[in-house]
Structure 1
Amino acid sequence: MSTVSPDRAALVAHARDSIARGSKSFAMASKLFDRQTRERAWLLYAWCRKCDDIADGQDHGGTLRGVADGQARLSTIRVLTDAALRGDRTGDPAFDGFGVVMRECAIPDRYAHDLIEGFALDARDWRPRSEADMLRYCYHVAGAVGCMMAVLMGVDPADEATLDRACDLGLAFQLANIARDISEDEAADRCYLPEEWLVEMDIPPGEHMKPWARPRLAVLARRLADMAAAYEESARHGTGVLPARAAWAVLAAAGIYGDIAREVARRGEQAWDHRVVTLRREKLGWVIRAGLQVPGRAGHWPAASPRSADLWTRAR
């Protein structure tokens, strides 16, 4: 590894291509940022995407297949991330770009380590026992990214109230992912539905995708969608402290991704027959609606986040 700084423009170009391939939803929302924030968001996304791909043996997402060397992959993520945080050149543009954005924005390293702990859970075939377990996982793989994005957009790392709302948006996104990807996760021998929920619905381990269980699974998917909606609404209250263009992008992303959970709930038992996506015209609709919401965004906080303070403290 070298300490020679890579060309920033090349790193940004790589990150732009990465988000275009990996997430059309986030790519569209990112265009609403000012140029500097947009480039930094791309750099952060590219690192998240690369870590995810290393952990799961994918290339910008796609069909999830289990891996046999999860611990070795986790070690690779840790080594390259730590090098990037030190300012060493790794030779991988996703990690080198990550180092650049972390230094430029003074994002606390702890959030990167928290995200990696989510990959560590997957590497040891972890499954949530309770709803609180599921939410802690959501924090590690998505809520921590919400906090990093908030700091990237100019939020003071000491502003716990706003970071709390940024975390909530990450939780909303991940709950939507869990609801949408139940079938794909099951095919890869993963399950992020709490065991207690499955017991409540009298669904034996490993049986949740059986045809007879679909009506009961649909009930749990609606529960996930309702939770995602609550976190999405909480997150919207945090946009009042953001610059107008940043708030526009966040509100658009919240609506675009929130539609995934809403569509899963609407489809009911047929939610996993075909992968749920948000169509381009629907994304554009949210861009317009979000733009109209920016002038009247709330400047006050709701009484409490849906997530308990105890969970927040333990998760972080």
Structure 2
Amino acid sequence: MTVETADSRDPGAHPGEIAGKSGTTFYWPMLLLPKPKRNAMFAIYAFCRQVDDIVDEPGSIDEKRAALAAWREQIRSLYLGGAPTGPVAVALADAIARYHLPRGELEAVIDGMAMDLGTPLRAPSLDTFKVYCRRVAGAVGLLVIRVFDRAEPDTEAFALAVGDALQMTNILRDLEEDARIGRLYLPRELLIRAGITATDPAEVLRHPGLAKVCDTLADMAEARFAEADRLLADWPRRRLWAARAMMMLYRRTLTRLRARGWRDIGQRPRLTKSEKAWITFRCLLGQPPAR
């Protein structure tokens, strides 16, 4: 899983510091939350960063498996009343207690990261792709919805829809970066429909059929954004304002990816700090801007 760059490997780093230095699109929506919610969101974000870095950074497979296993044990211990180790685990323990975060979703995030261990994911089947998105993004959505609001069928469906849309946008944004480390998350069925039988990332990115694949995946992401919109329609505009801001920021990224096209994929569209802040404040006030 590719996420925005941050050095979260320092075991003494605090969650707020990790989020602040990351350049994450989500920083402003997290920052403007009330302090308990802000701290919980920083904890969840820092946990995801740390387990992601375990897989992405240099090291042997055995070392990485051991590090993920250590996080599994830390999660298990937190739910049994054990003492947390390090600032991220301390903050996560507080978030678990305060917002009743489900253990299974934290473990699902680790399971998703583990899918990139050993042989990198390359043109996974659509079923495997959906499992991956559910673990690395849907699980996060089901955690943060408890911080933002509460867990009920509609809010959980919203969280899963947004998670899918954000992860698909990430994949489209990071095609070249992922290819450099041997990964290709584009589903095999979409490649075959576009006449691409290769699974080597560099070869796929050079193929003239790439644009068709990316357009199809962008359509899938947009459909999940539309589903999230449908669920939001009946709620007050300030309800889930932070999630709404996160969704709007990523939807703009998807729009700009499509406008840029799929030839010069090394040019990643970026939102300015002022744009991120403006969208976030508008959502906080219950006046979200037009897409």
Cα distance change, pair 218–235 in 1 and its aligned pair in 2 (3 A) = same
* Alignment partner of 1:269 out of 262, 268, 286: 262
Amino acid of the structure 1 residue aligned with 2:85 = G
1:22 aligned partner = 22
Counterparts of 2:228 and 2:60 in 1: how far apart (Å)?
A: 34
- For these two proteins, the number of residue pairs brought into alignment is 276
Larger proportion of helix: 1
* Alignment partner of 1:140 out of 123, 135, 141: 135
RMSD in angstroms over aligned alpha carbons?
A: 2.9
1:234 aligned partner = 227
Residue 236 of structure 1, CA deviation: 3.4
Counterparts of 1:101 and 1:112 in 2: how far apart (Å)?
A: 12
* Alignment partner of 2:96 out of 79, 93, 102: 102
Q: Deviations over 1:163-197 (max 9, x none)?
A: 01111111111111111111111111111111222
Contact 2:253 2:269 in 1 (8 A): yes
TM-score, length-scaled by structure 2: 0.83
Residue 212 of structure 1, CA deviation: 7.8
Contact 2:47 2:88 in 1 (8 A): yes
Counterparts of 1:143 and 1:205 in 2: how far apart (Å)?
A: 29
Contact 1:203 1:213 in 2 (8 A): no
- Consecutive unaligned residues in structure 1, runs of 5 or more: 1-12, 58-64, 297-316
Counterparts of 2:217 and 2:59 in 1: how far apart (Å)?
A: 24
Counterparts of 2:162 and 2:205 in 1: how far apart (Å)?
A: 33
1:251 equivalent to 2:218? Answer no
Residue 18 of structure 1, CA deviation: 1.1
Contact 1:239 1:250 in 2 (8 A): no
Residue 132 of structure 1, CA deviation: 3.1
* Alignment partner of 2:116 out of 122, 143, 150: 122
Counterparts of 2:48 and 2:22 in 1: how far apart (Å)?
A: 11
Residue 277 of structure 1, CA deviation: 2.2
1:43 aligned partner = 43
Residue 118 of structure 1, CA deviation: 0.5
Amino acid of the structure 1 residue aligned with 2:268 = R
TM-score, length-scaled by structure 1: 0.77
Counterparts of 2:205 and 2:22 in 1: how far apart (Å)?
A: 34
Residue 96 of structure 1, CA deviation: 2.2
Contact 2:148 2:242 in 1 (8 A): no
Counterparts of 1:15 and 1:50 in 2: how far apart (Å)?
A: 10
1:174 aligned partner = 167
1:220 equivalent to 2:213? Answer yes
Cα distance change, pair 220–173 in 1 and its aligned pair in 2 (3 A) = same
1:86 aligned partner = 80
